[in-house]
Each structure stands twice: as C-alpha cells, then as structure tokens.
C-alpha cells in the first residue's frame, strides 16, 4: 500500500502513524512545503521518504492535511496528478467552498470530502501521535460523488483506526461546526487576549490562573495560520454564532447588573445540561 500525506503536521502525521501501526508494510510518503517539517517527519519515522506530486499517480491513498485556503487552490492540482485508482481525502474544517472548488473536476469521483473531529492545540510533526483518531468522528460530505470502490477503500481505513462515520451535506457541516468548534476557538482566543491585556497592569494575574482558566484558554495556543482561513471561509456561519454568543453574554451581564442572581443561577443550571448532551444522554422532556 502506498500512501501520500500532504501536510505532515499534527493531522497528517497522526493519520500516518495510525495507518503505519495497522499496515507496517505500507509505504508512507510525505509532501510538505516546509523541508524542515519533512526532515523532522523523517527523523520521527512518521514518513518513509519525501515525495512530490509525481507520487500521486501510483498512490493508493492521498491524505491532505493543509490549511483550507491552500487546500482550495491545491486540491484541483492534487486531483490532476492522482491516478484513476487513487482516493484523495482532505481533513479541512470547512467543506462548502472545498466541495464547490472541485464540483466539476474530471476526477471528482476520486475525492472524498472529509473532516476528522480530532486535534489538539499543537501543530507540526512533533505534535503527531498514535491514537489521535481513535474513537473520534469522521464527517464525510457528498459521499455519493466518490466512486464506490474508492469509498470502500477510505472507509475501511477509517473504521480500522477506530473512527465513527457521520454523513452530512457541506452546508450543514459548516453551520454546525461553527457552533461546536469555530466559536469555541474564537472564545478561547478572545479570553486569552483579554487576560493578556489586563496582565500588562497586573503582573500577578497568571499566578492566580487555575486549571479552569488553563482548559478554557487552551485553544488560544492553536495556529493562527490555520484558523484565520477557516474563519474566512465560514464567515457567515461564524458571524451568526458570534451574534448569538454576544447576545447571551450581554443578557448575562445585565442579570448581574440588575442583581438578579436567581436568574444567574437558573442560566447556569440550565446550561449544566450540556454535561448530559456531551455524554450522549438524551434530555428528558417534561
């Protein structure tokens, strides 16, 4: 089995590690604009060798883990270079624009639009690790546009590494992911910004920061190079979620100003239900 990883950072590198564990005989070839990343991936034995787009024609599988703004321009070129029996999968956090970009491509049948709901706040080859994908969900969009035998090839790998499969159309994906991923990253970045600005005058503030702050601001360590294009491509949905979030913050602030702590408690109590939802426990209707 010959697998090309385009973008050998956290996402691509972790996929390579999981596949190599399952298929030790597989040849993993790395393609990346950064030679430093490629050398590091070789050193860490994430890839077997460096490659380029000429390797795509004979690849069984191509996994693309690059920023979405680069992806929209590179994906048509990747498909151009891919062989008839090659399945190309992306890992982009937006789907509508990416799917539109290749909707009329002659090799659209070779492409499977994917988004693994997996990751950490770290980036680069050193951040990659085995098991990142285990137990996580792989969102697949427009699966009917991928050739059936190529679908089977990709799905087999995802299932072998322990992923759950969920199908969605690109528009629904981008709307829902704005709430559960994109908004949380913005919140984390802006909380970090607020504290950094305050810290200029109060040096002791970080000495008081506990685990709650650390977990809430964790995502602020994520790569701006990756997240800025995501916010740009999903602008309308991101703005909609921000407007709702800001309204909730404004309402909560007003309750405090009004000394209405009974409703402050009620707001937090109602939101505690998120614990059940995240555990997959359905909310009982009264």
Query: What does the alpha-carbon distance between residue 236 and residue 97 come to, in Å, rounded to a whole number?
Result: 12
Q: What is the pTM of this model?
A: 0.85
Q: pLDDT tens digits for the chain (286 residues)?
A: 999 999 999 999 999 999 999 999 999 999 999 999 999 999 999 999 999 999 999 999 999 999 999 999 999 999 999 999 999 999 999 999 999 999 999 999 999 999 999 988 889 999 999 999 999 999 999 999 999 999 999 999 999 999 999 999 999 999 999 998 999 999 999 988 888 887 766 666 666 666 677 777 888 888 899 999 999 999 999 999 999 999 999 999 999 999 999 999 999 998 888 766 666 665 555 4
> Is the CATH code 1.10.10.10 the one for domain 2-168?
no
Query: What CATH code is assigned to 172-278?
Result: 1.10.3660.10
User: Nearest-CA neighbor of 2 among 66, 65, 67, 49?
Assistant: 49
**Comparing C-alpha atoms, which of 18, 67, 59 is closest to residue 150?**
59
Residue 12 half-sphere exposure toward CB, CA atoms < 13 A: 29
- Residue 166: how many other CB atoms lie within 10 Å: 13
**Whole-angstrom Cα Rg for the chain:** 21
Q: What is the pLDDT of residue 286?
A: 42
Residues 47/53/56/61 CA torsion (nearest 10 deg)? 50
Segments making up each domain of the chain, as ranges: 2-168, 172-278
At residue 280, φ and ψ (nearest 5 deg) are: 80, 20
Q: How far apart are CA 274 and CA 269, in angstroms?
A: 10
């Amino acid at each position: 089995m010959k697998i090309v990883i385009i973008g050998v950072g956290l996402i691509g590198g972790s996929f390579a590690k999981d596949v190599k564990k399952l298929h030790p005989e597989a040849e993993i070839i790395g393609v990346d604009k950064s030679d430093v990343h490629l050398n590091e991936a070789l050193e860490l034995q994430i890839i077997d060798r460096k490659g380029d787009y000429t390797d795509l024609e004979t690849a069984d599988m191509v996994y693309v883990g690059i920023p979405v703004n680069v992806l929209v321009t590179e994906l048509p070129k990747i498909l151009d270079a891919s062989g008839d029996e090659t399945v190309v999968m992306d890992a982009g956090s937006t789907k509508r624009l990416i799917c539109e970009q290749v909707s009329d491509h002659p090799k659209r049948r070779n492409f499977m639009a994917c988004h693994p709901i997996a990751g950490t706040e770290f980036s680069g080859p050193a951040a990659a690790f085995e098991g990142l994908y285990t137990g996580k969900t792989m969102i697949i969009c427009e699966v009917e546009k991928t050739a059936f035998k190529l679908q089977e090839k990709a799905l087999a790998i995802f299932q072998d590494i322990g992923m759950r499969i969920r199908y969605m159309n690109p528009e629904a994906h981008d709307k829902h992911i704005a709430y559960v991923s994109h908004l949380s990253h913005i919140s984390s970045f802006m909380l970090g910004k607020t504290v950094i600005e305050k810290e200029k005058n109060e040096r002791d503030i970080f000495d008081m920061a506990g685990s709650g702050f650390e977990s809430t601001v964790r995502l602020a360590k994520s790569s701006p190079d990756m997240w800025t294009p995501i916010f740009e491509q999903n602008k309308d949905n991101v703005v909609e979620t921000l407007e709702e979030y800001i309204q909730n913050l404004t309402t909560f602030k007003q309750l405090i100003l009004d000394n209405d702590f009974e409703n402050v408690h009620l707001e937090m109590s109602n939101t505690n239900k998120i614990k059940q939802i995240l555990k997959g426990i359905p909310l009982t209707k009264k």
